Structure 1
Amino acid sequence: MVRLLHIEFIKLWNNRASKILIISYFVLLTSIALVAAIKFDIGPIQFHLADQGIFNFPYVWHFNTYIAALFKLFLAIVIVSMMSNEYSNKTIKQNLIDGLSKKEFILSKFLTVISFALISTIFVFVVSLILGLVYSDFNELPIIFSDLEFLLAFFLKLTGFFSFCLFLGILVKRSAFALGFLILWSIIEQIVFGILGWKFVSWETAKIIKGFFPLQSMSNLIKEPFSRLKAVQSIANEIGEQVILDYQVHWYEITIVLCWTAIFVYLSYALLKKRDL
């Protein structure tokens, strides 16, 4: 496994575009810390974003994993480009001639996917921990290390999403078309959801069905965190509204994403096995 990973990272690091995208991705993850510096005055009111509790433990785990997941498209481009380059440079054929089996080839790509997801998760953990220790009003250990399931959800979300990108890269062979198909698929999920709720079932049932779609199931792992902020809750209470949402990471949501991940990896292997290279 180490040998397979070593081969993949040499390919990525020798590709200038991939190197720039990977570095940009981690720079953007670090830029979450810049949110703490946002300050502005509205008349006599001084607004400091860090004072709104976004870096309080354990909320920081939820907020930072949600924001960090928005940058995943950078690595998605790397993954589909990785497969596109294998075909355009004919390295995939050379790897197989050199003795690498198709199963090992897919395993090397999936190990790269897991590595990206794991390194991203560790990186977000470190950044969030530092921000929390600096700005959080709560520094008791039980509070600091509660809600860490959001980090697990973040890891699984990236793994599932990158596995989907890997499959699209193998299916389409061209990075631009693969990314286009990814955008198209997200639109298709919304259209199917709309048709189901409008014509066939209730909107509540349509929402449940939508939760089984690939991209939506990954999105469901980490719900939006903004309505948890005290400022938002206070505004809602003032206008007579109550914000009662379920923000937890549920086992069935994890199971759905794991199933899709397994499906995408298997389809990638089945497609490569069937295809004449």
Structure 2
Amino acid sequence: MLRLLNIEFHKLRYNRASRVLSIIYFGLLTSIALIAAIKFDIGPIKFHLAEQGIFNFPYIWHFNTYVAATLKFFLLLVIVSMMANEYSYKTLKQNLIDGLSKKEFILSKFYTVVAFAAISTVFVFFVSLILGLIYSDFNEFTIIFSDLEYLFAFFIKLVGFFSFGLFLGILIKRSAFAVAGMIVWLIIESLFKGYLIWTFKDLRGGATAEANKIMQFFPLEAMSNLIKEPVTRLGAVKSVAKQIGENFVKDYSVNILDIVIVSAWTFIFIYLSYSLLKKRDL
């Protein structure tokens, strides 16, 4: 595994675009800390976002992983360009000539995907831990290290998403078209979800709930379900909602079924990538 990872990181080290995108990505992850600087001071209205509890333990694990997950497209560009470069510079063919099997080649890419996801998860962990220790109202050990399942869900989400990108990179061979393919698939899922909601509009159980039962098995929807939006979980938001007669009833926990579904899709994407490469005449 280390040999295969070394091969991939050697390629990335000499790819300027990949280096720049990686730096931007981790720079943006660090910039989550800038949220603490958001303040509004207009006459009697004084608002400091950090004081609203977004950096309180254990809520911070949910909030930061959700925000960080929205930045994953930057690393997606690294993954798909990594595959596109293999075809453009013919390094794929050279690796196979040098004795690397197609299975080892796919494994090297998958190990890189896992490595990026793991590094991102560790990075978010330390950024969140530091912000929490500075701003959280709750610093007991048991509270600090509760809800860490959001970090695990974040890791699974990135591995699944990047595996999808890897498959598209192998399928399409061009990074721009591979990213476009991801966007097209997102649109297809969104349109199909809208169609299901319209179809189930007369059901008593609720059209959205019925549509979600089907959509949870789609790859991007399943990845989205791993970490649900955290805003309505915030105490300040709930207080405002109650004042206007709204009451949020929602399960914000990490669902085992979602983890299983995303893990299954990850296996499918990697297997399809290998099958495609195995059949393709290079």
Letter in 1 for 2:210: T
Does the CA contact (< 8 Å) of 2:156 and 2:259 recur in 1? yes
Q: Identify which range, 203-212 or 257-266, moves more after superposition.
A: 203-212
Kindly indicate whether residue 214 of structure 2 is the aligned counterpart of residue 214 of structure 1: no
Q: Matches of 1:234 and 1:10 in 2, distance apart?
A: 52
Does the CA contact (< 8 Å) of 2:58 and 2:143 recur in 1? yes
For residue 191 of structure 1, report the CA deviation from its aligned partner.
1.3
Kindly indicate whether residue 240 of structure 2 is the aligned counterpart of residue 235 of structure 1: yes
Kindly indicate whether residue 263 of structure 2 is the aligned counterpart of residue 263 of structure 1: no
Q: Secondary structure at the match of 2:54?
A: coil
Q: Matches of 2:229 and 2:275 in 1, distance apart?
A: 36
Q: Matches of 1:136 and 1:73 in 2, distance apart?
A: 29
RMSD: 1.0
Q: Matches of 2:138 and 2:198 in 1, distance apart?
A: 46
1:59-74 equivalent positions in 2, closer than 5 A: 59-74=59-74
Q: Matches of 1:43 and 1:230 in 2, distance apart?
A: 24
38 and 200 in structure 1: CA distance in 2 versus 1, 3 angstrom threshold: closer
1:116-195 equivalent positions in 2, closer than 5 A: 116-195=116-195
For residue 230 of structure 1, report the CA deviation from its aligned partner.
1.6
Q: Secondary structure at the match of 1:139?
A: coil
1:93-108 equivalent positions in 2, closer than 5 A: 93-108=93-108
For residue 206 of structure 1, report the CA deviation from its aligned partner.
1.8
Residue equivalent to 2:22:
22
Q: Secondary structure at the match of 2:46?
A: strand
Q: Matches of 1:82 and 1:254 in 2, distance apart?
A: 26
Q: Matches of 1:206 and 1:241 in 2, distance apart?
A: 23
Q: Matches of 1:2 and 1:47 in 2, distance apart?
A: 49
Residue equivalent to 2:13:
13
Q: How many residues align?
A: 277
For residue 93 of structure 1, report the CA deviation from its aligned partner.
0.2
Structure 1: gaps (5+ residues): none
Please list the CA deviations of residues 52-76 of structure 1 after superposition, one character each: whole Å capped at 9, or x if unmatched.
Answer: 0000000000000000001100000
For residue 43 of structure 1, report the CA deviation from its aligned partner.
1.7
For residue 200 of structure 1, report the CA deviation from its aligned partner.
6.6
Return the TM-score normalized by structure 1.
Answer: 0.98
For residue 193 of structure 1, report the CA deviation from its aligned partner.
1.6
For residue 46 of structure 1, report the CA deviation from its aligned partner.
1.6
Does the CA contact (< 8 Å) of 2:117 and 2:155 recur in 1? yes
Residue equivalent to 2:231:
226
Residue equivalent to 2:249:
244
Q: Which runs of 4+ in 1 moved over 4 A?
A: none
Q: Matches of 1:219 and 1:152 in 2, distance apart?
A: 14
Please list the CA deviations of residues 30-60 of structure 1 after superposition, one character each: whole Å capped at 9, or x if unmatched.
Answer: 0001111111212212211110000000000
Q: Secondary structure at the match of 1:46?
A: strand
Letter in 1 for 2:135: Y
